[in-house]
Structures are given as structure tokens and as C-alpha cells.
A and B are shown apart, each in its own frame.
Chain A
């Protein structure tokens, strides 16, 4: 994923949800994975220079790991507050940047870890249990 590439943002989540549908994973789980991945993709595109997303599917869960190179997040607690955003008007015109992305990711995750180093980048780990009993 590349920063500012708004045109292709969302393709990764479209691809992974299509794969999970082929694997006949529960649609509710696919929805949650889709929301997590789409929001994380948009965060990379909006704020970072570039990033990678890794999916790990086991018998019990699907993990989504997103690592980016970018400015990092100075205050993670603040960034997690619904409505808090540092997005520009341009980002909001794309339909994102309203301070809901990270809360959406956390809400849809059974386990959620966000770590960031200012000036270097951010790593996000989200895992979703396949039995829906997180």
C-alpha cells in the first residue's frame, strides 16, 4: 500500500474478503475482517508513506497485521478517542478521517494492539476469532 493512493485503497480488503468467502468463513466474521482491513488501509493511505498488510489464518482466528512507514502516532490514547482526527479536508472529501477508523478497528477486533514510534511508523495487530466468541 502506498501513501496518497486513494484510488486503490480498499483493494486489499476486497481481495481478502473474497478469499474468505471462498473459504466459506462466517459472513459476520468476514464483515469484521473487512472493516478492520479497510479502515487500516485508509489510515496507511491517508497518513503513511507506505505500508504492508499480512493476514494469518489459523483454525481459531484470523490475524490482520498492518505495518507502515510514516510519521507515527504521538499520543495513541488520544488517537483512539472517537471523533479525534488530524485528517485534512482532502482526506475527509474521500469519506474518511472523521476520527472513527481506529475505534472501528478496535470494536471489530477480539484482540487489538497498536504500537507507534514517532518519525518511523505504526504497527497494528488485530485478531478475530473464527468462532465469534471473542
Chain B
């Protein structure tokens, strides 16, 4: 699924656009616990999380994840946005909760990365 379509589906605000228009994802990992994300790393998967600190972007970098959707309307601090911009990680923010976000993504063909 194209990341632009995910942006529209979850009504996201784009915080860092990086290569948004070029990206597609087929899988996602959803958790506020970064160790849970790292327990099932799936290169090129989308991260869905409510955790907005800098470790979210560092986790995405380690796990080769190109984009993060922050749920519940959460927004990362400027240092987090700066690192994402520097490393070309797409950051999106949606006011939807984790459950609804994941449900919508799943119903549009995104599968869990296990």
C-alpha cells in the first residue's frame, strides 16, 4: 500500500515527508514498546506507535523501517523530528487510536510483521 494512501486513510498530518511519495509498505508492527518492535523486526515494515521519543526513530533505523505513524494525536519532540529528517524516516501523526489505526490498515491489506 502506498504511504500516501495510508496518510489519507488515517487522516495523518505529515511531520517529515522524506520519500513519502515513493514508499509502499505491505507489513506493519504496532506497539508502544520498542523491544516488541525489535522482537519481530521486519525490514520495510511500517511502525505504528504512541511512543514519540527519539528512541522510536532510532528503533526504526535499526530495524530498517522507513516510516512511523504516531497514534492518539501524539507528536514527537523537535529532536526526534530532526533525526528523522536527517535519516529520511517518514513521520506521520494521526488522531486515531492504535486499535482503529491497525484495524483500518489491516482491512486495507496491511499484514502484521511476525
Contact = CB atoms under 8 A, between A and B. Distances in A.
Interface string A93-134: 011101011011001000000000000000000000000000
A71 interface: no
Contacts of A34: 62-63
A101 B41 CA distance: 13
A96 B43 CA distance: 20
Nearest to A101: B35
Contact of A38 (B33, B36, B53, B59): B59
Contacts of A77: none
Kindly name the residue among B36, B62, B63 whose own CB sees the greatest number of chain A CB atoms within 10 A: B62
Kindly name the residue among B35, B51, B54, B55 whose own CB sees the greatest number of chain A CB atoms within 10 A: B35
B56 interface: yes
A96 B62 contact: no
A96 B59 CA distance: 11
A14 B58 contact: yes
Interface residues of B, number: 22
B34 interface: yes
A35 B62 contact: yes
Contacts of A7: 54, 79
Contact of B43 (A27, A104, A107): A27
Main secondary structure of the interface of B (DSSP, over half): helix
Given A7-B54, A9-B55, A38-B58, A27 B64 contact: yes
A31 B55 contact: no
Given A6-B53, A95-B32, A104-B35, A31 B58 contact: no
Interface of A: 6-7, 9-10, 13-14, 17, 27, 31, 34-35, 38-39, 42, 92, 94-96, 98, 100-101, 103-104, 107
4 closest pairs, A vs B, by CB? A100-B35, A10-B58, A34-B62, A95-B34
Interface of B: 32-36, 38-39, 41, 43, 49, 51, 53-56, 58-59, 61-64, 79
24 contacts: A7-B54, A10-B55, A10-B58, A10-B59, A14-B61, A17-B62, A27-B64, A31-B62, A31-B64, A38-B59, A42-B35, A94-B55, A95-B32, A95-B35, A95-B51, A95-B59, A96-B34, A96-B55, A98-B35, A100-B36, A100-B39, A101-B35, A104-B35, A107-B39
